[in-house]
Chains A and B, each alone.
Chain A
Amino acid sequence: MQRANVDIRSLRIGFGGLKVLDNLNLHVEASEFLVLLGPSGCGKSTLLNAIAGLIDVKSGEIHIGGRDVTWAEPKDRGIAMVFQSYALYPRMTVRKNMSFGLQVAGTPQDEIGRRLGEAAQMLRLTELLDRRPFELSGGQRQRVAIGRALVRHAGVYLFDEPLSNLDAQLRAELRVEIKRLHARLGATMIYVTHDQIEALTLADRIAVMQGGVIQQLDTPKMIYRAPVNRFVASFVGSPAMNFIPGSIARDGGAAFVAGTSRFSLNGYVFRGPPTDAPAVLGIRPEHVEVTASDDPFAVPARVEMVEPMGADSLIWCRLADGTAFSLRHDADAPLRAGDTLALRFPPETLSLFDDKSGQRL
């Protein structure tokens, strides 16, 4: 099985007057698991369909495995694709569904049988080969759809929100299965989703998209830890990141001031020289720490509500100036609404964004 890289150069796609993708560049390494993450309408599915050859591009080039396939038919691109709605052929058995592509391509029967058996075994479909799609559960259908892609022995596997139609438990199961599959095959995979958990768990690298533009392309860790702008920061992470408006203190950027609260920035890595323009402080709920009240950098806050979430609790607080935010805390802590907490915001976990542009400072 060849492992192909994918190279997208200055890609432009539009429908009528609407620009969906404008001058998009993306390089996917061979054997990489790349996730395209973004809200609906951000162009991620359009990009995937363009790689598959199901949408015509206006300009730009798509190279797969070093070959220019911009105008090649889908079948000639060395790709296989899995769809959200499974898109199984309803009148065919699982066996026929999986072998249809190979039959069309004129693959010899014994080779079809071999690949089919291999994929069926890998996905635990052997028992189901003679059933029809309507006799299968949602999870089984999606496994068949994945199987149909696997038998193609493609260089790149494309997944278009494959788990979005499944319930939460099945989604978690299949997610693990896809991850295991990638580890086992080492194939290049490009995976579209709007589910940030899927993105964070599966990806080698994530491309967060909005408005047809890749906002950030990085490892899940960096996307989570150091989002490049407020969009990425707010889109990734659940419960969502807290944003506290204020400004950087004039005394050399050592602190962030929001009303009467002061947050130490000692240890924060600025991308450029700090200015005193209005800024927004971002911190994830699990990074806020409860500290002793005599800590010089402690920020006082009042508890408004406690949401127990099992493993821990989400505590909703307000700062002295009224800004609301949340933090994750030990589920066993005896906290109640009205309690006052001393909180520490570790500088190395913070994100600072320019108030106007939303860019990371």
Chain B
Amino acid sequence: MTVLAEPLPAARRRRARMTPARWGLYAFILISALYFLLPLYVMVVTSLKPMAEIRQGNLLALPVSPSIDAWVTAWASACTGLTCQGIKVGFFNSVRILLPSVFISILVGSLTGYALSLWRVRGASILFGAMMVVAFIPYQLFIYPLVRVFAFTGLGQSLLTIVIIHTIFGLPTMTLLFRNYFTSLPPELFKAARVDGAGFYQIYARIMMPMATPMIVVAVILQTTGIWNDFILGLVFAGRDNLPMTVQLNNIVNSTQGERAYNVDMAATLLTALLPLLVYFGSGRWFVRGIAAGAVKG
């Protein structure tokens, strides 16, 4: 039996030499990492310190007697205004806002993007460029008119209102994201499906969307972080019973009387930031995989 000798990839790869340019590069990366990690570090250690330790003022010191008391308080019993049930109320409110908003905005955005990708009209790039510009108009401009509209329709402030609001504000970005992706596909794919007898929605559901996985991943990341981090829309449209986590966090941090509980504030902030953080860490791999999968033409 013969053994085929395979070239070892490791043997081929040369060790990268440490040139001055490389030293500079590493130094830059290190400084950037410190710049972004230091605040996070301070927040984590402060949240683990009892107040007595915080008063000593050693911002960067590790906790002498670490405890998760502040986290428990922040989650379950910190006061957000008149009630003292911690930030968990806001967390579940945010989840209830997030799930339908992400799902509906991507559904509607991909469907309109698909429809618009079939509409190959002259000056389309200008039209869609304008749409992109519209997406950057400050929300504040729309708030008063929208409040009036929702008051008029009788919806007022409610969970449904805030879901509709997030869907509307997500629409330009979602539509363009999917339109641009669907326009990049060969039009013959659509023609082939038509010859096969598939209708508008069948082509959307069975051919276009399965191909758009990378775009769906990107859309989920964009919408999840955007909607979770939203403050003003939630404050204005969600209603008092559905205030999202960001608003509750603000209430905890700003409504303390007497001594400021820095450790609880830090813990509450970290809890609020947890989901976007997880999305970024968890999705990096998916993001790359999604984009790479998109590059493989069928």
Which A positions have Cβ atoms within 8 angstroms of B? 49, 52-54, 73-75, 79-81, 83-85, 87-92, 100-101, 104-105, 132-134, 148, 152, 160
Contact = CB atoms under 8 A, between A and B. Distances in A.
B267 to A, nearest CB: 44
Given A88-B298, A134-B296, A100 B186 contact: no
Nearest to A54: B191
Given A88-B298, A90-B298, A134-B296, A54 B197 contact: no
A79 B195 contact: yes
Contact of A87 (B191, B197, B198): B191
B193 interface: yes
B198 A104 contact: yes
Nearest to B186: A85
Interface in B164-212: 186, 188-189, 191-198, 202, 206-207, 210-211
B196 A87 contact: no
A86 to B, nearest CB: 8
A77 to B, nearest CB: 9
B195 A104 contact: no
Nearest to A106: B197
7 contacts: A73-B194, A74-B195, A85-B188, A91-B211, A100-B193, A101-B196, A101-B198
B195 A80 contact: yes
Contacts of A52: 191, 195
Interface residues on B, range: 10 to 19
A104 B196 contact: yes
Interface of B: 186, 188-189, 191-198, 202, 206-207, 210-211, 296-298
Given A75-B196, A87-B186, A81 B211 contact: no
B209 to A, nearest CB: 9
Contacts of B196: 75, 100-101, 104, 148, 152
Contact of A74 (B194, B206, B297): B194
Complex A-B, nearest 8 residue pairs according to Cβ-Cβ distance, in ascending order: A90-B298, A101-B196, A75-B197, A87-B192, A87-B188, A91-B210, A83-B188, A104-B197
Given A84-B188, A134-B298, A89 B207 contact: yes
Contact of A90 (B191, B197, B211): B211
Contact of A101 (B188, B197, B211, B296): B197
Given A89-B207, A91-B210, A104-B202, A75 B195 contact: yes
Contacts of A132: 298
A133 B298 contact: yes
A248 B262 CA distance: 106
Contacts of B207: 89, 91
